[in-house]
A = this chain, B = another copy of it.
Amino acid sequence: MTEDELINSYPHKHLLGIEGLLPTSINFLLKSSNNYVDYLNNKKNGKLDILKNKICINLFFENSTRTRTSFELAGKKLGADMLNISVGTSSIKKGETLIDTAMTLNAMQPDILVVRHHDAGAVKLLSEKVNCGVINAGDGPHEHPTQALLDALTILKRKKKISGLKIAICGDIMHSRVARSNIHLLNTLGAEVRVIAPATLIPKGIESLGVNIFYDMKSGLKDVDIIIMLRLQLERMSGSFVPSIREYFRFYGLDREKLNFANPDALILHPGPMNRGVEIDSELADDIDRSAIFEQVQMGVAVRMACLKAIIDHKLKAND
């Protein structure tokens, strides 16, 4: 592949994670996403026919309203036929293996599979068994690449750059695929990434990904440009990870007081759905000068359009 092709295309069959992607690939996807943001903002624009006649299956082993809807909208905007399959607990009880489910869908000859699964690595395993392109829409605590891309696009839109920014990711790092994908992406593009969390929510060895660890919000937030708050999954509350919601909010919830330690123009991101009053102060979440939470959702549709297009383009080239 020539350098020119590397810069002007996505060179993989699948999008399984951010880890291992070259900066050129990430930049290509972000540039393409940005074009779609402009496209979507012009209300006179209708649907495109880039995915016309293409079949894209949303295969979700975990419930998700926002990511599933975002992919469905993105696909429809590109003219694709979108199918939703949600494999709940009842179907898994039927005893079919993940691989058999994958091979069954593969035999129906779809063009793209968008897959969410509760186990790390499940989407990669599945991608090895099918002919079509696969996009990881979140696999356990492992990766959620389109979320990291939409976070990066949101930052780019507001800060005009990523390289050199100081970025803090705060909260349940341990169980977060959003954290993992963001760390890979932001490091690859030259940001300085920190994680802030109680020791119980910091996974062992995380520093090997190139992040600095802080156990205290005030020192962690000092001078940062971007704060990515993570959702605290309330089911963690019953375990030994977190003492109580009130205590969690007091020490790790983002409020005006803690925000004052960051740069005066620091921007707040959150992947949603938010627990207001748990990981983020409600009034702060709604402050459109500081919070880009709903911009992220808007970027999400554009990013998924770019990713779907990248996978189809690669497939068409491979078939040439």
Contact = CB atoms under 8 A, between A and B. Distances in A.
Contacts of A110: 73
A189 interface: no
| Copies assembled | 3
A211 interface: no
Given A43-B319, A94-B273, A298-B109, A104 B66 contact: yes
A103 B65 contact: no
Contacts of A269: none
A76 interface: yes
Interface string A233-255: 01000000000000000000000
Contacts of A91: 63, 65
A53 interface: yes
What bracket does the count of chain A residues touching chain B fall in? 35 or more
A297 B101 CA distance: 11
B87 A83 contact: no
A128 to B, nearest CB: 14
Interface string A164-204: 00000000000000000000000000000000000000000
Contacts of A57: 69
A73 B234 CA distance: 38
A236 to B, nearest CB: 12
A108 B234 contact: no
Contacts of A295: 107
B65 A100 contact: no
A83 B90 contact: no
Interface string A31-46: 0000000001001001
Interface in A242-301: 272-276, 278, 294-298, 300-301
A136 interface: no
A47 interface: yes
B108 A73 contact: yes
Interface of A: 40, 43, 46-47, 52-53, 55, 57, 63, 65-66, 69-70, 72-73, 76, 81, 83, 85, 87, 90-91, 94-97, 100-101, 103-110, 234, 272-276, 278, 294-298, 300-301, 319
Given A55-B73, A55-B76, 14 more contacts: A43-B319, A47-B81, A63-B90, A63-B91, A65-B85, A65-B87, A94-B234, A95-B278, A96-B272, A104-B273, A107-B294, A107-B298, A108-B300, A109-B298
